[in-house]
């Protein structure tokens, strides 16, 4: 079991009980995402956690594959979906690369509060682009500390990870993230900060259609 899997398995129960810190922003993100949906669509969410967002979106699309490395997170997600009467979400334990989706097989991919936790962002963004159909959308929400005083967290993050008190955490700026997403073959449609400190960035990017 990887350190990340252990960390998130241990955090699952507490995570599932944590309150949404800014409900207005959360609802705006849900609404902007749902404006992309049509009932026939297939959606992939990686790093889905306990499935709360997938459950909100499920009535608006045909099917959601919700993947995560933590089986404890997924178990809570399955139970929440069952209680909500949602049966078009498949919760499976996978990283994006392990999932091995067919090329162009999804209309929308969601990566929410996850990109700053992954060491291999370039490879992840390339995989998102591969599995999306041309014209499909990548919706992400990411903590970008690169221009903030909090960027020095990168000095303590490796030790905090070894001690098991923090997950793996990567520091970069919003501009770096935007250009990485563009380099993976996307046009940025919308981007806005969803916290007063300007550290959390919501981005909707469209996979460029080849003509």
Ligand X SMILES: C[S@@+](CC[C@H](N)C(=O)[O-])C[C@H]1O[C@@H](n2cnc3c(N)ncnc32)[C@H](O)[C@@H]1O
Between 98 and 209, name the residue whose CB sits nearer to ligand X: 98
Between 70 and 129, name the residue whose CB sits nearer to ligand X: 70
Rg (the chain; Cα; Å)? 16
In the complex, the smallest distance separating the C-beta of residue 114 from ligand X, rounded to whole angstroms, is 5
In the complex, the smallest distance separating the C-beta of residue 132 from ligand X, rounded to whole angstroms, is 17
Q: Could you tell me which of 65, 63, 85 has the C-alpha nearest to residue 74?
A: 65
Between 4 and 208, name the residue whose CB sits nearer to ligand X: 4
CA quadruple 60, 96, 132, 113: dihedral positive or negative?
A: positive
In the complex, the smallest distance separating the C-beta of residue 166 from ligand X, rounded to whole angstroms, is 11
Task: Please state, in angstroms and rounded to a whole number, the distance separating the CA atoms of residues 70 and 4.
Answer: 8
Between 6 and 208, name the residue whose CB sits nearer to ligand X: 6
Phi, psi of 91 (to 5 degrees): -95, 115
In the complex, the smallest distance separating the C-beta of residue 56 from ligand X, rounded to whole angstroms, is 11
Q: Could you tell me which of 28, 26, 58 has the C-alpha nearest to residue 42?
A: 58
Give me the residue whose beta carbon is nearest to ligand X: 49
**Is-contact 151 99, C-beta < 8 A?**
no
Between 123 and 156, name the residue whose CB sits nearer to ligand X: 123
Task: Please state, in angstroms and rounded to a whole number, the distance separating the CA atoms of residues 151 and 153.
Answer: 5
Question: Binding residues for ligand X, per CB under 6 A?
Answer: 4, 8, 46-49, 53, 68-70, 73, 95, 112-114, 117-118
Q: Could you tell me which of 144, 132, 146, 136 has the C-alpha nearest to residue 191?
A: 144
């Amino acid at each position: 079991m990887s350190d990340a899997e252990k960390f998130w398995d241990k955090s699952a129960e507490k995570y599932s009980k944590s309150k949404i810190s800014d409900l207005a922003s959360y609802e705006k993100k849900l609404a902007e995402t749902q404006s992309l949906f049509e009932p026939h669509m297939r959606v992939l969410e990686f790093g889905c956690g306990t499935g709360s967002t997938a459950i909100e979106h499920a009535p608006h699309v045909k099917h959601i594959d919700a993947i995560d490395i933590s089986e404890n997170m997924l178990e809570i997600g399955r139970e929440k979906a069952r209680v909500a009467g949602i049966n078009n979400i498949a919760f499976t334990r996978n990283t994006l690369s392990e999932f091995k989706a067919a090329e162009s097989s999804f209309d929308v991919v969601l990566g929410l509060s996850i990109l700053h936790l992954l060491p291999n962002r370039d490879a992840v963004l390339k995989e998102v682009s591969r599995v999306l159909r041309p014209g499909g959308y990548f919706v992400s929400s990411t903590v970008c500390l690169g221009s903030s005083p909090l960027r020095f967290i990168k000095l303590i993050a490796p030790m905090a990870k070894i001690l098991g008190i923090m997950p793996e955490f990567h520091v970069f700026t919003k501009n770096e993230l935007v250009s990485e997403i563009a380099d993976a073959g996307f046009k940025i449609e919308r981007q806005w900060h969803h916290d007063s400190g300007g550290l959390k960035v919501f981005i909707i990017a469209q996979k460029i259609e080849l003509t």
